[in-house]
Amino acid sequence: MSIEDLESIAQAMVAPGKGIIAIDESTSTIRKRLESVNVENTEEHRRAYREMLLTTPDLGDHISGAILYDETLRQSTKDGVPFTRVMREAGIIPGIKVDMGAKPLAGFPGELVTEGLDGLRERLAEYAKLGAQFAKWRAVIGIDEDSPSSTCIEANCHALARYAALCQEAGLVPMVEPEVLMDGNHDIDLCYEVTEATLRSLFGALYEHNIMLEGTILKASMVISGKNCEQQASREDVAEATVRCLKSTVPATLPGIVFLSGGQSDEDATAHLNAMNQLGPHPWPLSFSYGRAMQQAALKLWGEDMRGNYAAAQKTVAQRARENGLAALGQWEG
């Protein structure tokens, strides 16, 4: 795949009024989601649930791409149509989560580093043959009294850069995700400092690894108060701080930035994105790559009655996509 192809795919991922749906939960994570609505975690139930999401009528109106898990990329509808074909016909770009999860960082108790570089070149080649056009790798940066250390930040950003280089070698657009966790009692100012340091390290590492930024997407966390912070920042403050942090760290050549919801409520995730776009114009499109904030309401409906509530669950998915698509334009009215 040429440099121009990577650019065009990246630009399509952040097309005006569109964003990414993340349905890349690992088998253990999807187990928790399914069990929360009293659905047994079987391969068929996982397949059926993701079919419900991906076959939502008119999903492509506001969804440009979907991040899948290894199992899902290989699955088909109950009628035998591969999910990747369903997505292509709806104008949705198939993506794939390729990291192997965050593991303890040796020598730094409580800190994590994402693994999965071993054998990644071969896995990416296979995923490209299966129809994936972009990939995602998530790093986890926690905030505590003594963390994150510079070592933790640098180790994760180095891994993100190596992953991105392998993606572009394989013809896939890398989505780089350095998530600064909301967990903790830190205030928005500390979150800003950690996010700024992380992004500076990330783009330094991408530069050192000869990454073509025009064919790369950043999946960012918002600058926000920790969940247990007594003083929760307002939506306006979150939007202002996040945009300011991004403008000080992210090169304008990047095609776009999509946000993770990171445990926010559905409404907060949409409202924060909308508020950021109302502060525009920005050097890059600001859109969404939401998982729980796109799925929660639909999962509950589907779990109550998989057949009887099928259409209602899909209607909820379509509504959440529309709301977030409007927020990506700064036009959501709440």
Q: What is the pLDDT of residue 229?
A: 94
78 is catalytic: no
Mean pLDDT of 52-59: 97
Q: What is the pLDDT of residue 306?
A: 87
Q: What is the pLDDT of residue 1?
A: 58
Mean pLDDT of 100-126: 97
CA distance 178 to 172: 19
Tokens 């990747």 belong to residue: 84
CA distance 304 to 201: 45
Bridge partners (DSSP) listed for residue 257: 218, 286
Q: What is the pLDDT of residue 237?
A: 97
Closest CA to 181 of 216, 137, 228, 136: 228
CA distance 129 to 111: 35
pLDDT tens, position by position, 181-197: 999 999 999 999 999 99
Q: Where are the domains of the chain?
A: 3-327
With a pLDDT cut of 90, the percent of the chain lying above it is 93
> How is residue 325 written in tokens?
């698509």
Bridge partners (DSSP) listed for residue 94: 66
Q: DSSP strand E in the chain: where?
A: 19-23, 63-68, 93-97, 102-104, 112-114, 134-141, 173-180, 217-220, 257-259, 286-290
Chain centroid to CA 32: 19
Q: What is the pLDDT of residue 135?
A: 98
Tokens 């990171």 belong to residue: 262
Is residue 238 pLDDT above 80, yes or no? yes
Gap between the terminal Cα atoms of the chain: 41
Residue length of the chain: 334
pLDDT tens, position by position, 114-142: 999 999 999 999 999 999 999 999 999 99
pLDDT tens, position by position, 302-315: 999 888 899 999 99
Q: What is the pLDDT of residue 102?
A: 96
Is residue 2 pLDDT above 80, yes or no? no
Q: What is the pLDDT of residue 156?
A: 98
177 is catalytic: yes
The more confidently predicted of residues 262 and 250 is 250
252, 284 Cβ separation under 8 angstroms: yes
Mean pLDDT of 271-291: 97
Catalytic residue among 18, 97, 136, 219: 219
The CA–CA distances, whole Å, from 216 to 10, 52, 133, 269, 287 equal 6, 29, 12, 23, 14
The more confidently predicted of residues 7 and 146 is 7
Q: Which fold has domain 3-327?
A: TIM Barrel (3.20.20)
Tokens 């209607």 belong to residue: 315
Is residue 223 pLDDT above 90, yes or no? yes
Task: Collect all residues with Cβ–Cβ distance below 8 Å to 65 and sequence separation of at least 6.
Answer: 12, 13, 20, 21, 92, 93, 94, 95, 133, 134
CA distance 321 to 63: 7
Is residue 106 pLDDT above 80, yes or no? yes
Rg (CA), the chain: 19
Chain centroid to CA 166: 19
pTM for the full predicted model: 0.95
Is residue 3 pLDDT above 80, yes or no? no
**In 3-state terms, the chain is what percent helix, strand and coil (to 5)?**
50, 15, 35
* Mean of all residue pLDDT scores within the chain: 96
Catalytic residue among 177, 193, 208, 315: 177
Q: DSSP strand E in 159-292: where?
A: 173-180, 217-220, 257-259, 286-290
CA dihedral (56, 92, 243, 194) in degrees, to 10, reads: 90
Q: What is the pLDDT of residue 66?
A: 98
CA distance 270 to 264: 9
Is residue 70 pLDDT above 80, yes or no? yes
Is residue 332 pLDDT above 90, yes or no? yes
Is residue 269 pLDDT above 70, yes or no? yes
